[in-house]
Structure 1
């Protein structure tokens, strides 16, 4: 693996990015992007470009300890109910079904 310089660079970049994301220092992210922007690895540059386009969201992910898991769960449940009704459910029926299900089974 030592003969594959690009692999070592990608591994180091990935390892460092993981440490930054699980930490709380957003200035490290900027340093990381500046360092690896000069790389010859196209996929890494594309990844950094994606971070730059959505920097605010990535920064907030690092700074804030907030998750939207509960919201995602409700959306997933809504889609499952809609699929079970074969796409024929209007908004009122879906709303009633989800509210009644919550009242009856919780």
Structure 2
């Protein structure tokens, strides 16, 4: 039995199609909903399996920006926020 984890970690996109066909007739509604979502976003999921590209650095920066915004909420304007992010980048990277 191929697990979904092995399919995603591998590089064979046909394994994803086989996995979806295998579990399509399931009685578990949440699994069926998940497979429908995979079918809607099939190109993106296929490219994730096929290509070894990640946007982790971008997501990390966005997360950091949101944290700093929450900490500074109501205290200052956009200029101080911009300077704080640039200063943190210089000091801690």
Matched, 1:22 2:9: yes
Gaps of 5+ in 1: 1-11
User: After TM superposition, what 4+ stretches of structure 1 lie above 2 angstroms from structure 2?
Assistant: 87-93, 100-106
Matched, 1:63 2:57: no
2:64 corresponds in structure 1 to 77
Cα shift at 1:39: 1.8
CA distance in 2, matches of 1:26, 1:79: 35
The two structures have a TM-score, normalised by structure 1, of: 0.74
CA distance in 2, matches of 1:74, 1:104: 15
Cα shift at 1:21: 0.5
CA distance in 1, matches of 2:75, 2:38: 39
RMSD: 1.9
Count of matched residue positions in the alignment of Structure 1 and Structure 2 = 93
Gaps of 5+ in 2: none
The two structures have a TM-score, normalised by structure 2, of: 0.83
CA 1:83/1:31 → structure 2, altered by over 3 Å: closer, same or farther? Answer: same
